[in-house]
Structure 1
Amino acid sequence: MALLAVTCSTVALGGQGPGESFPLVEAVECRPRGGLPNALAKLATGGEVRVAYIGGSITAANGWRPMTTRWLAQTYPDAKVVEINAAIGGTGSDLGVFRFRRDVLEHKPALVFIEFAVNDGGFAPDLILRTMEGMVRQARSQDSTIDICFVYTLTDGMVPTLAAGKFPRSASAMEKVADYYGIPSIHMGMEVVRLHKEGKLVLRAAPRTAEEKAALGDKIVFSADGVHPHAETGHKLYLEAIVRSFQKMRGVGTAGARPPLPPLTQGNYENARLVPVSRATMSAGWRRLDPQKDALAGRFSKYLPDLHVAAQAGESLSLRFRGTYVGFMDLLGPDCGQVVVSIDDGPPVMVARFDAYSTYHRIGSFAAGRDLPAGVHTVKVTLDGTPLDKAAILSRLNNRMDDPKRFEGLSWYVSQVMLIGDLE
């Protein structure tokens, strides 16, 4: 049987066209647009104000997110600011739009920050338009008074584009959605770029010796890896951008409900949702992991509450659905392997659930089928028994197998079905 192979950890089977061009938007720190009038009014009035944050590892970190929450609480002392942390490291808007209802909207926030520009960096603009608009339309359909703010971060690889006065492609695509819906946006990294151009900031440094530290002088060290800011420097600069931008947005916009708008992008992911994988048909070898008894299930219970595992080659799950998209929210890790995915009469596709980062377990996802013809489809996922050279895979990022026993097995841990449509 000939198999197509997909090896990345958060993947979509079907063309994303990562090389397609898109007009880049002028780089500015803040575009207030319609502002945040409802959230700011609630903060000024007092009472409970729920603020949600969804994004990747930069938002998940102990950095700009909790700093912003503390700043809001200090700035508006009559309000009880409640933080909703819905960030998951290493994930983009392609998963975020499916979990947005459950992880954000169910908590009834007044304000939502959405941060995916870095992790969406390799996505096609068309996909970004559909996922970002999907989240906006989900929020507006539930409660049109919810205020949303797009926030953008950076990597050192994005700095040349920003220094030339343009947003990178991912943020430029997001700006199109923000323009259409009047959503304010903040690029938290513009001051980082300015300081770097002036020679006052180093984007990436990990000095170990006294000599290396002395060589940096009084320069600000933004991060150790060019992506994840240090809390005391990079995240502090991100917070300062939030503060300046909120000052610009005071008095902007009119509080109240917003009228519904027709979609900007046909096929946007407004109807994306998660369904527990327990609703699929499973072969006999599957086990549901009890988060009260299993350490792995307990660790991931917030986002993967219905975690199942199969460990033997040939074990499978299948489901029938009426819709256009199906995928899975799962784990990658040391004891994971690969699965074979088939939809209807299409060719089988091999999807790796072990990669060069898999020295630990982390949340991932993959699309088994997207942009499917409207109608009823059947998807089947089968554990593959082909041995993996895990040491070679890890070596791509200079990682090593510390304990070979941890890397035994070819398991698949899965919790949620990502669906646009309905199960049959």
Structure 2
Amino acid sequence: MQKRLLAFLLLLTGPAHAACLDQVKADLRTSWPDNKTINIVAYGHSVPAGYFDAPEVHTREAYPRLLADGLADLYPHAVINVITSAVGGENSLKGLARFDREGLGHMPRVVLIDYGLNDRLIARESSRASLIAMTRKAKAAGACVILLTPNPDLGGDLPSYNSTLAQEAALIRAVAKEERVSLADSAAAFAAQKAPTKTFMSVHGHPNAAGHRLIFQQLIRLFRE
């Protein structure tokens, strides 16, 4: 009875983030002929899509490509696909609507979810509910989840926004803790820099190459630990 109860609870909550990524890292270390393809989906809005000064898209300098290259260096025997499934202007509520098809449809081992920047436009309750729904769907599909806090916005928080970047960052940190998934704290990484924020930004809320590298550094450390 106790074993069945434990199995049921794990189905609901999924494994703790460290144990989940530990298994992925073990598989990344496995060599041919026993290795398997590892799919990682970068899911979200214009930032993972690679928009700099729109309509310019800098895929090769965006953090999903940097992550693919960084993982290839860390795990030279692994077959790794980092798949970007991101829509400029999208928030998590809209992202949830396509998540089964365009997120989990790639059969990922890891899903990165990045919506904090645009979720200021929707109610915080909707943002929280959408993030939790995607997180639980991913865990039920056997994928590890990494939530990302937002990068800065040079334009600041407009009066029309429903929340601030700081509030969204706090919400995402709380969801990561409650759902026991990994966190890439981009907001904290940008805040810790001594250089002016504009040094890392191309325009408004879009990071430049240096900004994307900051986000990448928060992600790659999760695969090193």
TM-score above 0.5: yes
- Structure 2: state its 5+ residue gaps: 1-15, 51-58, 158-164
Q: 197, 208, 218: which is aligned to 1:241? A: 218
Q: 40, 48, 54: which is aligned to 1:59? A: 48
Q: Label 1:101 to 1:170 Cα distance change in 2 as closer, same or farther (>3 A).
A: same
Q: 182, 190, 193: which is aligned to 2:191? A: 193
The CA deviation at 1:152 is 1.8
- State yes or no: 1:152 paired with 2:149: yes
Partner of 1:89: helix, strand, or coil?
coil
CA distance in 1, matches of 2:201, 2:173: 26
Letter in 2 for 1:153: P
| Contact kept in structure 2, 1:47 and 1:78, CA below 8 Å | no
Equivalenced residues, count: 188
Partner of 1:185: helix, strand, or coil?
strand
CA distance in 2, matches of 1:245, 1:38: 12
| Contact kept in structure 1, 2:152 and 2:190, CA below 8 Å | no
Q: 47, 50, 53: which is aligned to 2:39? A: 50
Show CA shifts across 1:263-308 (max 9, x none): xxxxxxxxxxxxxxxxxxxxxxxxxxxxxxxxxxxxxxxxxxxxxx
Q: Max radius of gyration: which structure?
A: 1
Partner of 1:171 in structure 2?
Answer: 169
Partner of 1:227 in structure 2?
Answer: 205
- State yes or no: 1:202 paired with 2:196: yes
Partner of 1:112: helix, strand, or coil?
strand
Q: Once superposed, what is the RMSD of the aligned Cα atoms?
A: 2.3
CA distance in 2, matches of 1:234, 1:185: 17
| Contact kept in structure 2, 1:158 and 1:168, CA below 8 Å | no
Partner of 1:168: helix, strand, or coil?
helix
Query: Taking structure 2 as the reference length, what is the TM-score of the superposition?
Result: 0.75
| 1:1-400 paired onto structure 2 within 5 Å | 34-35=17-18, 36-45=21-30, 46-61=35-50, 62=59, 63-141=62-140, 143=141, 145-156=142-153, 168-195=166-193, 198=194, 201-204=195-198, 221-231=199-209, 233-247=210-224, 250=225
Higher share in helix: 2
Partner of 1:54: helix, strand, or coil?
strand
Partner of 1:224: helix, strand, or coil?
strand
The CA deviation at 1:159 is 8.3
Query: Taking structure 1 as the reference length, what is the TM-score of the superposition?
Result: 0.41
The CA deviation at 1:158 is 9.2
Q: Label 1:245 to 1:97 Cα distance change in 2 as closer, same or farther (>3 A).
A: same
| Contact kept in structure 2, 1:152 and 1:171, CA below 8 Å | yes
Q: Label 1:158 to 1:128 Cα distance change in 2 as closer, same or farther (>3 A).
A: farther
CA distance in 1, matches of 2:150, 2:175: 17
Show CA shifts across 1:173-218 (max 9, x none): 22332222210111124332222xx3xx2323xxxxxxxxxxxxxx
| Contact kept in structure 1, 2:152 and 2:187, CA below 8 Å | no
| Contact kept in structure 1, 2:150 and 2:169, CA below 8 Å | no
Letter in 1 for 2:178: Y
The CA deviation at 1:140 is 2.7
Partner of 1:11 in structure 2?
Answer: none
Partner of 1:126: helix, strand, or coil?
helix
Show CA shifts across 1:357-381 (max 9, x none): xxxxxxxxxxxxxxxxxxxxxxxxx
